[in-house]
Amino acid sequence: MDSGSQKTFSRKGILQPIKLIECQGWFPQRADDAHKGSNGRVLIVGGEQSMAGACCLAGWASYVAGAGLVRVATIADNTATISSCRPELLVSGIDEPNQLGKLLQLVDVIALGPGLGQTRWSRQVFEFCLEHNDPRVIDADALNLLAHTPDKRDRWILTPHVAEAARLLNTQVDEIQDNRIAAAREIVSLYGGICILKGKGSLIVSDKNETICPYGNAALAVAGTGDVLTGVLAGLLAQGMESYRAAQSAVALHACAADIYAAGNGLVGMLASDLMIPLRRLRNGLEVKDEG
């Protein structure tokens, strides 16, 4: 968004809030004869130098959301670190982008961006994924790379925080914060798909639907929580959830998990991995939220 288009932002109406209990009614149920392949297969692509943890958190969260098998494609130096952190993840070291070719065919959903970086390797991997497949979740540095080489697709879900949204729209953070709903709408107009604009009152916007998340708190203002959201979203999509419902549900689960944590521990000191236990309970309907 250039300076000439900033004035097109306008405030409209009252957004409908997401309801956790409604989201929980949408979740796929685990069949008695289920196997790992029938519960969805996810590929997390990212993890440049010093950012192995982002892929680990995203992959872990995909499992917690119910995915049956989760792969990670990352730089070769990260494979041992991620495998030792979460041995359930199938980790492949990628030296050249074409090594991704087979992996892209083995999964149902690709989440591109956690810890991806903006190096030459990052750009090559980003371009290969967009050329040879249809990534469903675009997060973190994949959003920053997208801002440099814009594309528009109907099926993907973009998950920017305000700074990433500002880069996507070529504007300033203050302009995004001044009218978040208009910013999310413009991202959808320019890039397609669904936009989850993260922050206080996260927005979920498509060309047909607009909702706001009434849950969440400042405990989420810590590194890695966005990677957890990406993983939850990818895991729900891999189980066959419709895109907009999956986006609403992932945001609601993520935010409510932070509320559960903060209720018992306070707002300061939460780690992104602290979300996993309440996320699992919420995903299984063992925790509910008073909507009164």
Output the pTM of the full model.
0.94
Q: What pLDDT score was predicted for residue 5?
A: 37
CA 278 vs CA 10, 20, 41, 190: distances in Å: 37, 13, 23, 35
Question: Is residue 132 assigned to a domain?
Answer: yes
Question: Is residue 126 assigned to a domain?
Answer: yes
Q: Which domain holds residue 276?
A: 35-282
Evaluate if residue 290 carries a pLDDT over 80.
no
Between 171 and 5, residue with greater pLDDT: 171
Question: Is residue 185 assigned to a domain?
Answer: yes
User: CATH number, domain at 149?
Assistant: 3.40.1190.20
Question: Is residue 30 assigned to a domain?
Answer: no
Domain count, the chain: 1
Question: Is residue 223 assigned to a domain?
Answer: yes
Question: Is residue 168 assigned to a domain?
Answer: yes
Q: In what side-by-side order are the strands of the sheet with 16-17?
A: 16-17, 210-212, 203-205, 194-197, 157-158, 137-138, 109-112, 41-45, 69-74, 90-93
Q: Which two tokens stand for residue 47?
A: 């993890």
Evaluate if residue 109 carries a pLDDT over 90.
yes
For residue 257, count other CB atoms closer than 10 A to its CB.
Answer: 32
Question: Is residue 250 assigned to a domain?
Answer: yes
Distance of alpha carbon 17 from its chain centroid, rounded? 19
Confidence band, pLDDT 50/70/90 cuts, at residue 243: very high
Q: 245-265, pLDDT tens digit by residue?
A: 999 999 999 999 999 999 999
Q: What pLDDT score was predicted for residue 10?
A: 34
Mean pLDDT of the chain: 94
Question: Is residue 221 assigned to a domain?
Answer: yes
- Report helix angle 225-238 to 276-283, nearest 10: 30
The full length of the chain comes to 292
Q: What pLDDT score was predicted for residue 289?
A: 73
Evaluate if residue 8 carries a pLDDT over 60.
no
